[in-house]
Amino acid sequence: MTDVIRTHGLTKYYGAKRVVDSLNLRVERGQVYGFLGRNGAGKSTTIKMLMGMVQPDCGSIELLGEDVATMNPATRARIAYIAEGHPLYNWMTIDEAVRFTRAFYPLWNGTLVEQILDHFELSRKQKLRRLSNGQRAQVSLALAVAPEPELLVLDDPTLGLDTVVRRDFLESLIQIIHREGRTIFFSSHMLGDVERVADRIGIMVDGVLRVDCPTDHFRESVKKLVLEFTGPVPEGFSCQGLVNCWTVGSRLELVLVGYDDQQRAAVEALEPRNIEVVDLNLEEAFIEYTRGRRRSLPLFAEEPRDDQSASDQGAA
């Protein structure tokens, strides 16, 4: 399979802060790639660098086999980009936006635009400034897919959309994906959406691509273990693949990647009363993987009350 997106050592600084750090990314033709990360992880900056909107400090980007820095217009015409917030010219009507965008492309599927506008019940006479966020997303999608692009890059396309509109939008996206050879690269905070459409995910953590694997593989790799102890909870547990570790009262909760016999042996060596292995969905796996160091929590019910709080309660 050929790579539609390929970056090598892509790095970007904002001031002294490295927002994208030596990113090596490869997206194959026909893939639907979900690009995930918390706010400020570097997703939008990466997407803007892919699209040539932001200049990288070092590294290279190839889209459809061509360097982005010197990309010719004919190649750019094969790439669709929906920026975050669906920026469009508000003074235009939908019809004006369609006619304006069409002027730039040699290939334009007017029938598809009609179908999308009809599907979402959008009138061509409507002013863009009067559209809701969801409707703007739908117009953006229609404008993006009309030139029959081989690669669609979408920066958080479902941001700010309600559940129904989001579902509609994604279903349209899935229909478009079914067109042969089309590659979609999109960032999102909606893990459920990503789970539904993406066959591969990348997770950025503090500008570094920490995960790049099939969606199912990531979900199945991240496990949460709940260890219950009768005595005091042991401290300073460490083993290979440990992402996070914290205590909640008499329990020790661990998040592990690639739970295997070696890790099981390490956990059993702690001699817990009970070990529960919890399967996580993508959203839970993402949260556990990216939330960072968690502070251990006491069980609030078991907190000894001090005199002040006791007297307060008595007063109440």
Partner 1 sequence: MIKALAIKELREALGLLALGVVGIAYMTLSLIGMAILPGSYAEKPYFPFAADAHALMQTVILGAFSLLLGFRQTAWELHNSTFCFILHRPLARRIVFVVKLAVGMMLVVLLNTLFVAVYGWWSATPATHPTPFFWSMTLPAWKTGFTMVLVYLGAFLSGLRPGNWFGSRLAPAAAGILAAGFASSIPWWWLSVVVWLSGIVVLLIGIFYYCQQRDF
Which residues here bind partner 1, judged by CB under 8 A? Answer: 48, 51-55, 73-74, 76-77, 79, 81, 83-85, 87-91, 99-101, 103-105
Cβ-based burial of 284 (10 A; exposed 0-12, middle 13-18, buried ≥19) = middle
d(CA 261, CA 265): 6
Length of the chain: 316
Q: Closest CB to partner 1 among 44 and 263?
A: 44
Stated as kind and residue range, the H or E segment containing 227 is strand 222-228
Q: Please state the closest distance from residue 10 (CB atom) to partner 1, in A.
A: 14
Q: Is 37:290 a contact under the CB 8 Å cutoff?
A: yes
CB of 183 to partner 1, least distance (A): 16
Beta carbon of residue 100, minimum distance to partner 1 (angstroms, whole number): 5
Instruction: Rank residues 148 and 228 by Cβ distance to partner 1 and give the closer one.
Output: 148
Contact between residue 308 and residue 256 where contact means Cβ atoms under 8 Å apart: no
Give the integer Cα–Cα distance in Å for 129 and 91: 7
Query: If we measure between CA atoms, which residue out of 6, 12, 22, 11 comes closest to residue 63?
Result: 6
Nearer to partner 1, 101 or 215 (CB): 101
C-alpha dihedral (172, 108, 84, 16), degrees to nearest 10? 130
Report CA dihedral (82, 86, 91, 96) to the nearest 10 degrees. Answer: 40
Task: Provide the minimum distance between the beta carbon of 209 and partner 1 in the complex, in angstroms, as a whole number.
Answer: 21
**Structure letter (DSSP) for residue 294:** P
Q: How far is the CB of 292 from partner 1 (least distance, A)?
A: 27
In the complex, minimum distance from the CB of residue 34 to partner 1, in angstroms, rounded to a whole number: 21
Given the complex with partner 1, which of 104 and 262 has the nearer CB atom? Answer: 104
Closest-CA residue to 88 (of 29, 27, 129, 47): 129
Judged by CB, which is closer to partner 1: 22, or 75? Answer: 75
What are the beta bridge partners of residue 79?
151
Q: 87 or 292: whose CB is closer to partner 1?
A: 87
Cβ nearer to partner 1, comparing 48 with 219 = 48
CB of 51 to partner 1, least distance (A): 6
